[in-house]
Structure 1
Amino acid sequence: MGSASGLQRRRGAGTSSLAAFDDEDSLARTPKQVASSAQGGAGKGKQAARVEQHSGSGSVATIDVGTGHKLAYDPRDMDDADEERSCPRLTIMEEVLLLGLKDAQGYLSFWNDKLSYTLRGSILMELALRNRIAIMPGADQKRVEVADRLISVKNRKGTGEPLLDEALRHIQQGPPASVSEWMDLLSGETWNMMKLNMQLKQVRERLAKGLVEKGVLRTEKRNFLLFDMPTHPLSNTAVKDAVRRRVYALTTSRSIHPEALYKEDANNGPIDAPVTRALCMVCSAHCGNVLENVLQHLSSDSREEVEVHFDYIAEEFGQWPMAPTSSTGGLPPRGTTDAILARPVNVAAARMSFKNGRTSKLGVSVDELARHMLKEYDTAGRASAYEVIAAVLHVFIRMDSLI
């Protein structure tokens, strides 16, 4: 563990067995002297054993009475640990990319012109689910389409994922812009030369390298005609099988079991909003033209039925309020202030869409999704995330006309 006088950093050091020092002189004493003085002062009250020294950077220095070792930890690490436990191992965009990669060859289809744009939308949904961005408040925001509402940074704290942190930094430093505008800017789809620096470059390659670091993929060289190019074949089949199971849970089943969606990541605690997160992933995969890779075992008619059904799902949840024709009344919950302030939808058109969409024999129903997402809306503390998700799905719906 190092020398007796060495300063050690531990994540989330406890305080029950720790004594501390509160002045510069105590830092100069040996650990044994500090420990003995702490033990000697224990009879005078509990305050002597709970004194800690806080630095200007926010870290806390304490003494381990049992070993005499100095300890230092950052209380903010505890918050990081809580977020790590509530988020799955893979982000939404990593799961979408993994579905698009060929297992043995390790590369994406050369003819997919939608995936890059879809991944930018997945980044915004992931930031929203992590409580980093939200739709800006204001009555003017409710008068425009949900995809045209401005977003702002809600929490500037980093996520530990380089792509997410880079996008968060651009949103924080850039001028106010809507969800659709940020998807264009992050994709480099702009004629404004002053905003080209906001583009996220080499997103697919960076996501693949991140999956290599997580042990899901490996890197190999493959010859394409005259060039050697890096490819990323699948290394851990269990991870991709888990992503496939989430896809099957929404595309081939009629009911959802939220606790089973991310069971491989729930060892340290439940995952926040599992149904909402799975819906974001499957809709992104569908709009990015990689969902069909997972449904090859189905007949062509069944695959087409799933595609049509998720066109309908994206339309229902790509508006605000979400799924207004469902039996639950949609999200936000009917009668709440958020629901009253939300822009009214065309109920007649929505009912016709609902009538056409519910005839599908494959895939979970809108009612089932809305029922579980309503519980997550109330309990997960991510109410602001759902409006961002609706905005991204709205852009996905009209993506054919944008690309």
Structure 2
Amino acid sequence: MPRLTIMEEVLLLGLKDKQGYLSFWNDNISYALRGCILIELALRRRIALVKDANRRRNPLPDRLVEVIDDRQTGETILDETLRMMKGQESDKISINGWIDLLSGETWNVMKIGYQLKQVRERLAKGLVDKGVLRTEKRNFLLFDMATHPVADVRTKEAIISRVVSLLTAATSTVPPSALDKEGTQCRVMRSVCLACAAYAASVLDNAFGRLTYEDREGAFQRCDDVLAEFACWPFGSASATGTGSSRRRETVRIGMGSNPATGRESVLGLLQEVKKEMNGEEDLGFELVAGVLEVLSKLDSLL
């Protein structure tokens, strides 16, 4: 298993290194982190979509989720979510439904107890325990607030390096620098999910600080293309059908920093490598991940 979860990596990308807090104007990250919880559980093969021949009649985010392995992961937030899902097995809930419930976005008073509270603070404390962050007290006007500056700069730099390598690759070969260490479960899919989740959570800007304007714009467009091809099922079917879930698809891009043909080759390379990590064509765990990414791709219109 990787040392850090995708939720922790997204949070780290959003944190200001020295100040130790997230931007007060970021409305997307809380919802995106709940989606990352489902992605992490699916990649750890704890949850998947219900195997039902009729499920494809429903939109991808409306397909039902089930627990396939209730063993604890050792990560508090993941295990808490897994217990809630296991307790709901008699009345299964969809991908979209779970993200809404975990975020507290529900009108059903019977389901309010499913909201995961203080996720950002709990993730930050987990990163303190792992030695990546430290805790400080800061005075904000009339009150003190706990902040979590970065203690292990190398860990955050490694995350940034992976994301930048993934989104600026010039060939169809996935560069090793874009991936977590050898032996990590589903490591290509993890890198794809990290980049897409960071994009949806509006923290990707923080990874591109050292890029030129053109390279940065090219990396954003690449991430947009990656998200479109992985926020559908089967993966890669968006370009074939012309129904990509891209967030920037209709935006006029100025000063593109990457050749469109090169970008397409890179995305195709990712698709090929991810398919090697799947358990056959009918991988219900990866199909669940595609559903979460579709929800996240529409985040700006949801909030």
Confirm or deny that 1:392 pairs with 2:292.
Answer: yes
Query: How big is each residue's C-alpha offset from its partner over 1:112-165, in whole Å with a ceiling of 9 and x where there is no partner?
Result: 000000000000000001111000011221111111100011111111101001
1:300 is aligned, of 213, 233, 238, to 213
Report the CA distance between 1:377 and its aligned residue. Answer: 1.5
- TM normalised by structure 2 equals 0.89
Q: What's 1:77 paired with?
A: none
Contact 1:256 1:364 in 2 (8 A): no
- Is 317-326 or 187-196 further displaced after alignment? 317-326
Measured after TM superposition, the shift of residue 313 of structure 1 is 1.5
**Equivalent residue for 2:82, pick from 147, 161, 168:** 168
1:258-281 deviation per Cα after TM superposition (whole angstroms, max 9, x unaligned) = 487223xx5xxx111111011111
Unmatched runs of 5 consecutive residues or more in structure 1:
1-86, 327-345
Paired amino acid for 2:103: S
Contact kept in structure 1, 2:133 and 2:148, CA below 8 Å: yes
Q: C-alpha displacement at 1:294, in angstroms?
A: 1.0
Q: Secondary structure at the match of 1:221?
A: strand
- CA deviation string 1:176-205 (max 9, x = no partner): 111011000000000111101000000000
2:120 aligned with 1:204:
yes
CA distance in structure 2 between the aligned counterparts of 1:361 and 1:102, rounded to whole angstroms: 32
Residues 161, 284 of structure 1: alpha-carbon distance in 2 compared, 3 angstrom cutoff: same
Tell me the equivalent position of 2:23.
Answer: 109
Indicate the larger mover: 306-315 or 183-192: 306-315
Distance 1:279 1:348, change over 3 A: closer
For 1:350-372, what per-residue CA distance to the aligned partner results, in whole angstroms no more than 9, with x for missing partners?
6xx8xx99717669722110111
2:273 corresponding residue in structure 1: 372
SS in 2 for 1:134: strand
Residue 319 of structure 1 corresponds to 232
- Measured in 2, the distance between the counterparts of 1:180 and 1:134 equals 14
* Equivalent position to 1:120, from 34, 50, 53: 34
Counterpart amino acid of residue 359 in structure 1:
P
**What residue in structure 2 maps to residue 188 of structure 1?**
104
RCO higher in structure (CA 8 A, sep ≥6)? 2
Q: Which runs of 5+ in 2 are unaligned?
A: none
CA shift for structure 1 position 312: 2.2
Between the aligned partners of 1:209 and 1:364, the Cα distance in structure 2 is 40
8 Å Cα contact 2:164-2:219 kept in structure 1: no
- Equivalences for 1:245-256 in 2 at 5 Å? 245-254=161-170, 255-256=173-174
RMSD of aligned residue pairs (Cα, Å): 2.4
Structure 2 counterpart of 1:278, one-letter code: S
Q: Distance in 2 between matches of 1:151 and 1:258?
A: 32
Look up the SS of the partner of 1:139 in the other structure.
Answer: coil
Cα distance in 2, alignment partners of residues 360 and 309 from structure 1: 11
Specify the alignment match of 1:148 in structure 2: 62
Structure 1 residue 398, shift from structure 2 partner: 1.4
CA contact (8 A) 2:164 2:178 kept: no
Instruction: Point out the structure with max Rg over C-alpha.
Output: 1
| Contact 1:305–1:360 (Cα < 8 Å) also in 2 | no
Structure-to-structure mapping, 1:1-400, within 5 angstroms: 87-174=1-88, 175-254=91-170, 255-258=173-176, 261-263=179-181, 266=182, 270-324=183-237, 347-349=241-243, 359=260, 365-378=266-279, 383-400=283-300
Residues 272 and 364 of structure 1: is their aligned pair in 2 closer, same or farther, counting only changes over 3 Å?
farther
Kindly indicate whether the alpha-carbon contact (under 8 Å) linking 2:162 and 2:177 is maintained by their aligned counterparts in 1.
Answer: no
Contact 2:51/2:284 (CA < 8 Å) preserved in 1? Answer: no
State the Cα distance separating 1:299 from its structure 2 match. Answer: 2.9
Secondary structure of 2:260's counterpart equals coil
Aligned to 1:62: none
Q: Name the aligned partner's letter for residue 117 of structure 2.
A: K
State the alpha-carbon separation in 1 of the partners of residues 241 and 282 from structure 2. 27
> How big is the shift at 1:315?
1.4
Give the TM-score normalised by structure 1.
0.67
Larger deviation, residues 295-304 vs 137-146:
295-304
Contact 1:261 1:275 in 2 (8 A): yes
- Structure 1 residues 292 and 177, CA gap change in structure 2 (3 angstroms): same
Contact 1:147 1:180 in 2 (8 A): yes
Code of the residue aligned with 1:386 in structure 2: it is F
Q: Is the 8 A contact 1:262 1:271 kept in 2?
A: yes
Instruction: Measure the CA separation in 2 of the matches of 1:139 and 1:258.
Output: 37
Percent of aligned pairs with the same residue?
49
**TM-aligned CA distance change 1:199 to 1:302, over 3 Å:** same
Matched residue count: 288
Contact 2:67 2:85 in 1 (8 A): yes
Answer yes or no: is the 8 Å Cα contact 1:306–1:363 preserved in 2: no
Aligned in 2, Cα 1:159/1:152: closer, same or farther, shift over 3 Å?
Answer: same
